[in-house]
């Protein structure tokens, strides 16, 4: 029971009012009373109650009217109607108006107590659900799809960490959504109105990486014709996303550590320390702890980055999210392609559920996009997915390569409304090759309906 819940008791009968007030006061509630609707409304300015017990028959304003006025003032208030006249119709009207419950006089205090406690509990769960729905909707604003227990854990971590400024290390396989998680944290953080800048740390030489992160002065190295701000300066109060953090050299690790600790950078070729304000989020596909053991990653940098660790599960460990992701991408690309797929055939869905998705969500997204280009509305078929996903043969009859190619090219041409440049690009061949195929198969635009 909630000892701090506040009650308003409105009844014109002194005996009822006083005994209820005494009862609930002893139960630990904070209690206000009024002997009429008018008196209750006079107390209203500056007050709010969690719950009101309102007699239905009172001189002047009746309980129904008071209920409406209380609700106008505070839509969240719970109103329980007390009726002494066993006038079920009036009580029913109160329920229709949104009263929580009604109770007949004379009542057993224990029963009333139970009703009140239940109503308050109900209100709490309703508020919690509302709060949860709001946060989920916030997260959905960055389109992070997933309801599986593992994804829910990730969402919880995102919500917990977003509001503080802790450095986050996101670990997950390629295509599992690391950048999207970083984006979600940023978008839910107080820094969301400032930029999130991404530094792709892999595959850059030391000098280029340092110039990328910290900026450089004119002439700092050959090719540095102008001065340039680095990502930490550009972020300027926002978030720096350090992608593929495992791939940087020990020298760059040392420099990065200093910036994270001191929140100060020096541009390459410069000699002036510049204060920077940022939140850092790093991502890696590799096991950083193992690299620390091997000696290729500094342990102090690891601890500095891994204040909070978020581990993104691979898609094969949360297959129950596949149908949701399917719907998500279907509607995303339907809009872009102006196509009207209603869904996926049963065997095609089984195909998606059975495939291990080594490329994770990115591979799924690409497979769906491709299927939407190749497939025919209204339903995606298993054969529309790439071969590695769906070894199923197309049901077109003949399996000769030419026939499959013929059908495929025709569909792609049709999709791009016979724009040969775009069709060739989608097919991954040059225009001359496409032209020759069109001649070989004797396509004319009229074939498109076949
Ligand atoms: N939970 C998800 N809901 C919706 N889309 C997702 C989800 N996870 C990933 N995606 C999509 O999948 C693609 C890959 O995601 P992202 O770029 O975040 O992965 P990554 O882990 O950073 O991959 P890489 O290691 O290859 O850089 C993006 O288009 C992203 O929008
Ligand atoms: Mg990425």
Given this model, what pLDDT does residue 450 score?
Answer: 35
Whether 361 is in the pocket of ligand 1, judged by its Cβ within 6 Å, is yes
Whether 362 is in the pocket of ligand 1, judged by its Cβ within 6 Å, is yes
Given this model, what pLDDT does residue 55 score?
Answer: 92
Strands (E), 263-367: 264-266, 273-275, 279-284, 308-311, 343-344
87 close to 16: Cβ distance less than 8 angstroms: no
Global pTM? 0.64
Whether 95 is in the pocket of ligand 1, judged by its Cβ within 6 Å, is no
Q: 412 C-alpha to center of ligand 1: Å?
A: 26
Tell me the backbone φ, ψ of residue 107, rounded to 5 degrees: -120, 160
Given this model, what pLDDT does residue 127 score?
Answer: 77
- Mutation probe of ligand 1 site: the residue of 176, 184, 329 with most atoms within 8 A of C-beta: 176
Give the number of other CB atoms < 10 A from CB of residue 342: 10
Strands (E), 291-365: 308-311, 343-344
Largest alpha-carbon pair distance within the chain?
99
What is the Cα–Cα distance from 99 to 65, expressed in whole angstroms? Answer: 11
What is the Cα–Cα distance from 33 to 38, expressed in whole angstroms? Answer: 12
Question: Given the CA of residue 174, which atom of ligand 1 is nearest to it?
Answer: 25
Given this model, what pLDDT does residue 205 score?
Answer: 84
Given this model, what pLDDT does residue 407 score?
Answer: 74
Given this model, what pLDDT does residue 98 score?
Answer: 83
349 close to 207: Cβ distance less than 8 angstroms: no
Q: 175 C-alpha to center of ligand 1: Å?
A: 5
Given this model, what pLDDT does residue 447 score?
Answer: 44
Whether 71 is in the pocket of ligand 1, judged by its Cβ within 6 Å, is no
Question: Given the CA of residue 181, which atom of ligand 1 is nearest to it?
Answer: 18
What is the Cα–Cα distance from 165 to 362, expressed in whole angstroms? Answer: 29
**Blockwise average pLDDT, block size 10, the chain, 450 residues:** 78 92 91 94 87 92 91 88 74 82 82 88 78 64 85 91 93 96 91 89 85 88 82 92 94 94 92 92 96 96 95 96 95 86 92 95 93 87 86 59 78 84 91 91 61
Given this model, what pLDDT does residue 448 score?
Answer: 43
Question: Given the CA of residue 178, which atom of ligand 1 is nearest to it?
Answer: 21
- Enumerate residues 6+ apart whose C-beta is below 8 A from 318: 146, 148, 149, 150, 151
Report the DSSP beta bridge partners of residue 33.
Answer: 9
Q: 354 C-alpha to center of ligand 2: Å?
A: 25
Given this model, what pLDDT does residue 324 score?
Answer: 94
Closest CA to 87 of 59, 65, 63, 60: 63
DSSP state of 253: H
């Amino acid at each position: 029971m909630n000892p701090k819940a506040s009650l308003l008791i409105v009844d014109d009968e002194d005996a009822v009012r006083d005994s209820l007030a005494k009862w609930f006061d002893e139960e630990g509630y904070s209690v206000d009373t009024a002997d009429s609707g008018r008196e209750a409304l006079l107390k209203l300015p500056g007050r709010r109650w969690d719950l009101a017990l309102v007699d239905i028959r009172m001189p002047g304003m009746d309980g129904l009217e008071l209920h409406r006025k209380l609700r106008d003032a505070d839509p969240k208030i719970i109103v329980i109607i007390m009726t002494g006249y066993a006038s079920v119709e009036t009580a029913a009207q109160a329920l229709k108006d949104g009263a929580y419950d009604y109770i007949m006089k004379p009542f057993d205090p224990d029963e009333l107590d139970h009703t009140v406690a239940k109503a308050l509990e109900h209100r709490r769960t309703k508020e919690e659900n509302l709060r949860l729905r709001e946060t989920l909707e916030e997260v959905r604003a960055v389109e992070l799809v997933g309801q599986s227990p593992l994804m829910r854990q990730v969402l919880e971590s995102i919500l917990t960490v977003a509001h503080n400024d802790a450095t986050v290390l996101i670990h997950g396989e390629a295509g599992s959504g690391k950048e999207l998680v970083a984006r979600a944290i940023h978008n839910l953080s107080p820094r969301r109105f400032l930029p999130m800048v991404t530094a792709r740390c892999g595959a850059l030489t030391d000098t280029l990486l340092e110039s990328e992160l910290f900026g450089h002065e004119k002439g700092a190295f050959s090719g540095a014709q102008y001065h340039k701000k680095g990502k930490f300066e550009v972020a300027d109060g926002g978030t720096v996303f350090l992608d593929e953090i495992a791939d940087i050299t020990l020298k760059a690790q040392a420099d990065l550590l200093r910036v994270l600790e001191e929140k100060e950078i020096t541009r390459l070729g410069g000699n002036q320390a510049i204060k920077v304000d940022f939140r850092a989020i790093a991502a890696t596909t590799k096991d950083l702890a193992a690299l620390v053991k091997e000696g290729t990653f500094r342990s102090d940098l690891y601890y500095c980055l891994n204040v909070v660790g978020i581990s993104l599960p691979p898609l094969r460990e949360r297959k129950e999210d596949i149908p949701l992701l399917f719907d998500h991408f279907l509607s995303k690309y339907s809009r872009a392609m102006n196509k009207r797929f209603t869904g996926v055939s049963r065997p095609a869905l089984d195909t998606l559920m059975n495939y291990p998705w080594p490329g994770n969500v990115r591979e799924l997204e690409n497979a769906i996009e491709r299927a939407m280009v190749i497939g025919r509305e209204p339903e995606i078929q298993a054969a529309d997915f790439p071969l590695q996903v769906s070894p199923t043969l197309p049901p077109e009859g003949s399996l000769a390569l030419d026939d499959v190619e013929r059908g495929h090219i025709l569909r792609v041409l049709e999709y791009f409304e016979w724009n040969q440049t775009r069709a060739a690009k989608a097919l991954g061949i040059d225009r001359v090759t496409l032209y020759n195929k069109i001649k070989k198969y004797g396509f004319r635009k009229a074939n498109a309906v076949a």
